[in-house]
Amino acid sequence: MEIKVTGRKMPVTDSLKDYAEEKIGNSMKVMDIDPLSADVVLHMEKNPSIALPAICEVTMTAKGHLIRVEEREEDMYAAIDVAAAKVLRQLRKFKTRVVEHNTRTDASSIRTKATETPDFDALMDELADDAVVRVKDVDFEPLTEEEALVQIDLLGHDFFGYIDRDSSAFCILYRRKNGGYGLLKQKLD
């Protein structure tokens, strides 16, 4: 189990780093999933009009799956506490849906290759509002609709693209505003 704590445009004190490692680490130890690694990024918004300026982002990699949590609070320690609780819920969901039920034969469903991590704040200053600010290369593995539903929950995204295992069609699963999910499927001739 590996935990890496960094700060985005802020120094991370030893006490804050130890606190984050302890809280996130305890959540990870409870579920006993191996191998498991976590990247914790702490960020403080400088705008005084933002009610919840402390942000804790946790990105975990477990058996080829990505699990992402982002929490905002008034104080960094509170943000870490809430993120740790959410990490535990996400890991419990991952373990019950993916690990224990063995819904996949190959656990390497999503692998992202970040070409390089750009400074997004600098890019936003340079680029117009309608420009692409991030590009990711993604390997699309064949999945069933049920497995894609698990992945969209684990990632916490509003959409998820995959290749349908049965029909080989490209599909996009998205979260609807009124609840539930929608599915866009490539029409095969």
Run of H or E residues at 68: strand 65-73
> Domain map of the chain by residue range?
2-99, 110-185
CATH number attached to the domain at 2-99: 3.30.160.100
Q: Which of 126, 95, 115 is nearest to 30 (CA)?
A: 95
Residue 34 contacts residue 51 (beta carbons within 8 Å): no
The first and second tokens of residue 96, run together, are 């019950």
pLDDT of residue 98: 67
Q: Mean pLDDT, 10 residues at a time, over the chain (189 residues)?
A: 89 92 84 80 90 92 83 93 89 73 46 50 52 76 88 84 90 88 86
pLDDT of residue 100: 58
Answer whether 0.75 is exceeded by the pTM.
no
Per CATH, which fold does 110-185 belong to? Answer: SHC Adaptor Protein (3.30.505)
pLDDT of residue 115: 47
Within 8 A by CB and 6+ apart from 74, the residues are: 51, 52, 53, 54
pLDDT of residue 107: 41
